[in-house]
Chains A and B, each alone.
Chain A
């Protein structure tokens, strides 16, 4: 894992959080838009919050695809769940919303899950690493063999 790859993972969290927040903010301006009012939904793109939100979500998709090109799905997904934590922190600091004990417990569980995966290797597909035998992946597989006693069948 290079620093560039950690940056891509951080981008997934950052872009999806900010994109979703801006999109939600923009859709609130519209009021009760529904599927029955298609023209209003199309015009929503003209709202600056919605426009910037869509651009950020495209950036999220690009960083998500980039991460999937060199890391396992089961490695990238927990990283993407950090956006739930970031939303809660933004709501607490930016909007002074109260966070209940249940939600703090949720935040702790997600953070623990992400920590578990992040400490392990990022790519584990044996066939792929055998075929390409990249030093980075070989290193990861050695670690997985040491740590993971469960047989892969």
Chain B
């Protein structure tokens, strides 16, 4: 395992060097993503300036909600974004190469690329979060910070595993990017606004089926002492469990997928 991890970082090192081959693309990408996020928050600000608040959420609470999601999402984006493009490796037959080397195909695939654009997300998310924290006048205890950190990690695992599972579907379907695009739309939609403003069916969908609400909404309502939309206070503490279940599920789907690949080829 530690050996795999060591190799993974060597892979990432090469992927990073490859990215730097295209320097200006790198810089434009990072700056572009920051501008994109600013636009996003500006839109929410316009909405709130008109309606005072969204549900029971003030502007800075929403900034915190958004930046909490973005913190997890950005790390996912830097390291795992290409999970949604697994189909390319399967269709082009590059996946064959992973199978003729003495290390894990998953590690080779994950180590193949890093996505610099996510770096802009990280910078933006951290800044926005710090601003929101001070504007809301919060004073979290060590325990609360620990919970926050665990929730961030869980959020990372949740988003990664959703993408991983959908990516692995291409072992059966050839392509699965359309499904990923849909899930990403849902994901982004919910992260821009608190769950309170949506109808009941959508709340249940985002909680039970595509559980992205566990990335930020439920843990943050617990941290801010707010009532969550389903009125079940302990949901906020369920994030790590949701993450573990998804991890097991995704690993299973992946394993089945690789088995299918070796019986059907590309």
State yes or no: do A and B come from one complex: no
